[in-house]
Chains A and B, each alone.
Chain A
Amino acid sequence: MATYTFQHNGQTHQITLEPQSDGTLRAIMDGRSIALRASRSSNGAWLIDINGTRHTVYTAAQGNERYVHADGQSFTLTVPDARESARRRSTHSADGTAALNAQMPGKVTTVLAAAGDHVERGQTLMILEAMKMEIRVNAPEAGIVMRLLVETGQIVERGQLLAEISAKEN
């Protein structure tokens, strides 16, 4: 018996696989018990037969991410110890500081602000470029640039912290 946990779209799925004496499998998931037959073809695809319906499923793993293609649909899941995804564009901490993260991986082509600057809401702080696309990183609100962590020419990863802004005190 083995139990695996995956997260998808904020939902947690737990699957327990139980081999049966007749060579079939039983999957227990979300409170249901599913009888199935499974095999793996030489090209790596899983062939899964549930109640006479056959599914060809492809899977792949990279870090904590799991990719699956089944019945014409693709999904990306994570396994539980996945690090907090740093996809959010900006996050606010309790002290009113906004963190600006890179929305996409790319190169910093222009830096238009410096630490200590007062910036207005919507003001462009820097420009990123990837695959000939230009993305402006704008201040989410008026404030002071507390930290500016990148420089022109630097390559940044998606989710990397670019700058921090503290809300302006009125």
Chain B
Amino acid sequence: MANRLNKCLIANRGEIAVRIIRACRELGIMSVAVYSEADANARHVQLADEAYLIGAASPAESYLNGQKLIETALNVGCDCVHPGYGFLSERESFAQTVIDAGLIWVGPAPTTIRKMGVKTEARALMEKAGVPLVPGYQSDTASDADFIAAAEQIGLPLMVKAAGGGGGKGIRIVNEASELADALVSARREAQNAFGDGRVFLEKYIENARHIEVQILADSHGNTLHLYERECSAQRRHQKVIEETPSPLLNVATRYAICQAAVAAAKAVDYVNAGTVEFIATPGGEFYFLEMNTRLQVEHPVTELVTGVDLVKLQFLVAAGGELPLMQSDIRQTGHAIECRLYAEDPHNGFLPAIGPVLEFIPPEGPGIRVDSGLQSGDHVTIYYDPMIAKIIVYDRRRDGAITRMIGALRETVLLGTTTNRDFLLALLESAVFQNGEIHTGTIDAHLDGLLPDAPPISDAALIALALAENLNQGILSTARTQGTPEGDVYSPWSRGDHFRLKRQ
């Protein structure tokens, strides 16, 4: 009864659009990219079988324009839509409109998105399903006074969180009762901007908390599998920085328990497709349900590396009505995988986005290294979209080996033209707290100064190369280059000395 999918519109951009295009190719599904005016030359546009301009650079006019996306899908003969992550991936109304247009939605049912998307509704459902919950307070009709009274009950510190979404947006930590009123106002505004839903709720703030999430994969034939956990405790202001699997925190018994809880959570909402159940864990290994992300996660590749399962391909299979070709006992967690998010941001300027041209991007390569990127040399990092340049993902049999491999991969990554968080990632990987597997979600913010190494002195080789490049750019050596050795050497000791005519200043 499975449908055959022939042509997919990918309602996204960047590395995740590229990832989905690759899965489509392997499955024999035609891929259709969409792009904004800012992305005309983007990698996902180049790689897709077809690509269509859908609007201006601002996401609201392009990647968030659901009507335009569906029109495009219908006009060009698509039979399915993959939303990726972010943008419209967790918008129930968009998923419903896709389905109403007669297209297959490569994701969970709209009702599931709503149940899990409204964090307050999700908490209620999880409670019923016996999934452990963080103590909190929720009410759609509560006044600020009610929230303040509830806060006293829960105790401080606590968090104000957006009911309508996740991803670290709309979250405020309240340490003093006097801060709560302001936190409610600003969290509501940010939540309104980010999710179009200004409702917030309270949750006890668990100190030294670990973020552990479980990958779920379920079909419409009643099979709900877990693909083990990922730990994403290395966060800066609630944004994940490094993710890994297995979690260094969990022992065999806790791992089993958290994976079972995730399966129970997914079954409680009749989940179909790939999804992630997020938990918060205490240093002692107690865990509580945080939220469920009803989509593919940014960090899905680490799970793919330790399980050997291609999550995106199985998303298509499940969406087409197929039955998972795996049983729980087929899924093993082997070795260790780590992902680093390489961002165009300036750690020495408050991690603010560093926009600019990517003059040169040479990703790392080698055994056990995977790079998921939507950028290439010549592209621009713009103000319009997330400033992620690439996800660098490594695999090794052991955690220490994976850390060493990641350090080498980051050092090898050449990215010229914009500032990145690379040195910050390296400092984190080299820190004792990370290497001992003791990072909790507050560690980075608390120890930021120690993780922002001063720039080392510039090396002789770097300065000499810059001087050579300067000389080359001033034109004199271009003649020498054409006359030079086949490799284009201009200063080669093997070519004749009279080719070297340096420009005089």
Q: Residues of A with Cβ closer than 8 Å to B?
A: 1-4, 6, 8-9, 13, 15, 17-25, 27, 29, 34, 36-42, 44, 46, 48, 50, 55, 57-62, 66-77, 79, 87, 103-107, 109, 129-135, 155, 158
How far, in whole Å, are A41 and B460 apart by their CA atoms in the complex?
19
User: What residues of chain B lie closer than 8 Å to A21, measured between beta carbons?
Assistant: 497
| Closest A-B pairs by Cβ, 10 of them | A72-B411, A55-B461, A60-B359, A57-B465, A67-B416, A38-B491, A19-B500, A70-B462, A60-B416, A39-B489
Classify the interface of chain A: helix, strand, loop or mixed: strand
How far, in whole Å, are A77 and B467 apart by their CA atoms in the complex?
12
Judge whether B326 is part of the interface by a CB distance below 8 angstroms.
no
User: What residues of chain B lie closer than 8 Å to A61, measured between beta carbons?
Assistant: 359, 469-470, 473
User: What residues of chain B lie closer than 8 Å to A106, measured between beta carbons?
Assistant: 353, 383
**Additional pairs, 5, CB under 8 Å, beyond known A58-B414, A77-B458:** A13-B463, A46-B464, A55-B465, A57-B465, A66-B466
User: What residues of chain B lie closer than 8 Å to A58, measured between beta carbons?
Assistant: 360, 362, 414, 416, 465
Inter-chain contact B360/A19, CB cutoff 8 Å: no
User: What residues of chain A lie closer than 8 Å to B360, measured between beta carbons?
Assistant: 44, 58, 60, 67, 69
Residue of B nearest to A49 (CB): B493
Would you list 28 pairs from A and B whose C-beta atoms are within 8 A, ordered by A residue?
A1-B504, A4-B467, A9-B455, A19-B502, A21-B497, A29-B460, A37-B492, A40-B491, A41-B488, A46-B469, A48-B461, A50-B464, A55-B461, A57-B462, A57-B465, A60-B360, A61-B359, A62-B359, A66-B470, A69-B415, A70-B462, A70-B465, A73-B411, A73-B462, A74-B415, A79-B470, A106-B353, A131-B383
How far, in whole Å, are A133 and B168 apart by their CA atoms in the complex?
11
How far, in whole Å, are A114 and B458 apart by their CA atoms in the complex?
45
Q: Taking A2-B502, A41-B487, A58-B414 as contacts, is the C-beta distance between A74 and B466 under 8 angstroms?
A: no
Minimum C-beta distance from B405 to chain A (A): 14
Inter-chain contact A50/B461, CB cutoff 8 Å: yes
User: What residues of chain B lie closer than 8 Å to A77, measured between beta carbons?
Assistant: 458, 466
Judge whether B39 is part of the interface by a CB distance below 8 angstroms.
no
Minimum C-beta distance from B462 to chain A (A): 4
User: What residues of chain A lie closer than 8 Å to B472, measured between beta carbons?
Assistant: 40
Inter-chain contact A105/B504, CB cutoff 8 Å: no
Inter-chain contact B455/A75, CB cutoff 8 Å: yes
Inter-chain contact B190/A72, CB cutoff 8 Å: no
Judge whether B419 is part of the interface by a CB distance below 8 angstroms.
yes
Inter-chain contact A2/B383, CB cutoff 8 Å: no
Inter-chain contact A62/B417, CB cutoff 8 Å: yes
User: What residues of chain A lie closer than 8 Å to B353, measured between beta carbons?
Assistant: 104-106, 130-131, 133
User: What residues of chain A lie closer than 8 Å to B463, measured between beta carbons?
Assistant: 6, 13, 15, 27, 29
How far, in whole Å, are A134 and B188 apart by their CA atoms in the complex?
13
Inter-chain contact B502/A17, CB cutoff 8 Å: yes
Inter-chain contact B460/A34, CB cutoff 8 Å: yes
How far, in whole Å, are A72 and B385 apart by their CA atoms in the complex?
28
Inter-chain contact A25/B491, CB cutoff 8 Å: yes
How far, in whole Å, are A72 and B504 apart by their CA atoms in the complex?
32
How far, in whole Å, are A59 and B416 apart by their CA atoms in the complex?
7
Inter-chain contact A46/B487, CB cutoff 8 Å: no
How far, in whole Å, are A15 and B173 apart by their CA atoms in the complex?
51
Q: Which of B169, B464, B500 makes the CB contact (< 8 A) with A48?
A: B464
Inter-chain contact A24/B493, CB cutoff 8 Å: yes
Inter-chain contact A39/B502, CB cutoff 8 Å: no
User: What residues of chain A lie closer than 8 Å to B461, measured between beta carbons?
Assistant: 48, 50, 55, 57, 70-71
Minimum C-beta distance from A159 to chain B (A): 11
Q: Which of B190, B359, B455, B461 has the most CB of A within 10 A?
A: B461
User: What residues of chain B lie closer than 8 Å to A135, measured between beta carbons?
Assistant: 352
User: What residues of chain B lie closer than 8 Å to A129, measured between beta carbons?
Assistant: 193
Interface string of B394-419 (1 = CB under 8 A from A): 00000000000000000110111101
User: What residues of chain B lie closer than 8 Å to A68, measured between beta carbons?
Assistant: 416, 458, 462, 465-466
